[in-house]
Structure 1
Amino acid sequence: MVHVVFVAPYLLRATLQFIDGAATLPGVRLILVTQDRLAGVPASVRANLFRFHRVENVMDETQLLAAIHELRAKVGPIHRLIGTLEDLQETLARVRQTLSIDGMDPITAGNFRQKSKMKEILRGNGIPCAKHCLATNRPQLDAFIDKVGYPLVAKPPAGAGSRATFQLNHAGDLDNLLSENSLSTGKPILFEEFIMGNEYTFESAWIEGRMKWHSITRYYPSPLEVLNNSWIQWCILLPREIDHPYFNDIREIAAKANQCLGIQNGFTHLEWFRRSDGSIAVSEVAARPPGGQLTSITGFAHQFNIHQEWARSVIFNQFAEPKRCYAAGAAFLRGQGKGRVAAVQGIKKIQEELGALIVEMKLPAIGQPPGGGYEGDGYILVRHPITAVVEKALSRIITSVRVVLD
């Protein structure tokens, strides 16, 4: 049996799915290390755990090291140290290195996590990506703006999921940002040129440095546009057909991007743009499974346990390539205006219209405050063998369902 430690700060629903995927993998004894309470683990997941271990802060490398030492004394060798949270990847890599545990090393983790370093590596290998500046002072930033102009995108140097990401359309927007976030060597801000175009993702599974599988998904519209417009109910579309020549260039570019960043085993999530002139620009790459219900619709489209296959890739360096049987999509529900959720309108009509196309649904609870993020307050996932049917279903959902705030 292989002793595997899964590290997760908080036991969110999506995280629990990956925990259970690893815990139910044959040959694995899974130990969960978290700062949440055992009560946060559903009984169905708890039954599959080998051991539960709580620390005050799993992001603290010292505490995590101490936890692994303690677990080693109790259960014997720890063979793998894993986790899905992007913010944890460098910490996990350093602990692996310190304790001689196989897995992603600190250099590779830093290549994926530090966005400015990532773009330098990509551009140095001839991969098209947004021009950027990791600014520590105003003259440095002004010189960059003189070259690329507005609009700009500002984000943390090691952000994830569009958190703390802003579109700056003019100098006034920049002044507002810098009034609350001063530039310094200790707190730089990553600025990028704003890329116009259709935004996609490229998910891939890697075993021993070779890409074994990939998937392509389209955002409608981009997450940044959603963040800037609270009224938008947005969608993710995973088309059934991705072997079209239209995607030949991104297949080559994405494979090269992942290879030069150093991925060996596991999943990656790459975001990219197709400009109006047909050219490609890579936004960024993460050495983790995707979020935003993208993992779920990928599993539904391929009819496989994606959470377990991710675990297999990082624990046993194996991956069973699935067949893409369906198109799938996610429609995100967002409240309009201010206040708490008072009603969710149009659900009964959508259920009657779409019927079996709906494979999963999470509605906002009456009385809950709006989440404020780009994922909104709920979602509806759909699936069908024909891509156009899924596209039409997503359009019907976002134009028919309304989350009322009061």
Structure 2
Amino acid sequence: MSDLYNLPEDHQDIRAAVRELAEGAIKPFAADCDEKERYPVEAQKALIDAGFHAVHIPEAYEGMGADAVATVVVIEEVARVCASSALIPAVNKLGSMPIILSGSEELKQAVLPSIASGEAMISYALSEREAGSDAAAMRTRAKADGDDWILNGTKCWITNAGVSSWYTVMAVTDPDKGSRGISAFVVHADDEGFQVGTKERKLGIKGSPTREIHFDNCRIPGWRIVGEPGTGYSTALATLEHTRPTIGAQAVGIAQGALELSVDYAKHRQQFGKAIAQFQAIQFMIADMAMAVEAARTLVYQAAAAAERGDPRSSFLASAAKCLASDTAMSVTTDAVQILGGAGYTRDFAAERMMRDAKITQIYEGTNQIQRLVMARSLLR
């Protein structure tokens, strides 16, 4: 009965391997990537070399075929040292999940092996300037032209745009049908009429580029539609049940890193002739931080497992995990800065970077206000 409520040994082995990789090959460059707002090429190479950049890709498409819990473990451990680098495996899953869920065999064979090998990365394009939480209000259009599709419009807030080769794009194919008139397509960076915009100037996750992408009569072959016309929005919602726990995992990783930094600092920082860890005020803060991290981690793993097995509660659990974990990350990183005091407010320590990075987890893949709406509707249905 000792393993009744414990990760299987192979998942624990994955955690140990990713942690060793993250400590040795990702953490040393995290501050520099943030400071210079540069993409973490060292992390990408290390993750690809070790096979941790897209562990979720099924074995049928030359991937590792890792389950959803293993995937969130990978993301959590990378985020523990660098939130920007954690978006490599996280966004690879976000961008490819619509294809895995709804794509044709031809489309899967054309795209997924290149992601599994690390030859390519894939991003996800749903949001627009006037269509964020209200995704059904999007204006990007796709029109059939013979055997091809022609895309026109602009998507914004596209994580890792300019680095990715593939983009899963939501566009309106029938304006009269509302959300049922939205379809999903896969665009390649080399497609004529596709262009990447300028990089956003952000508060956090500065190592991960966020850009607009533009479609100017962008022509793609007909087989690159994901599923049937009009099924794009339902595919997008199904995708989020699988990927919101990955944002929860990123948030847990950030919070775990901040907790460990706080504990280490409290043990060594001297005030009034003793380590501040001996003061009850600090002890209570650290206890509350650790309690919240453990609760968030448990819910994230539960949500990932629910999505893996197709649990009918997976939508509620995905939103709950993402919401609780991101709120926890914001709270814990803020407390970490407080424990470090003046030092925490400087870039000499990672606490302020973690605090800045944590904020976006409350916003992307659905704001936490949207998550609460999803949960409430699920409960009141």
Higher-RCO chain (CA-CA 8 Å, sequence separation at least 6)? 2
Q: TM-score, normalised by structure 2?
A: 0.29
Q: Which has the higher strand share?
A: 1
Q: Which has the higher helix share?
A: 2
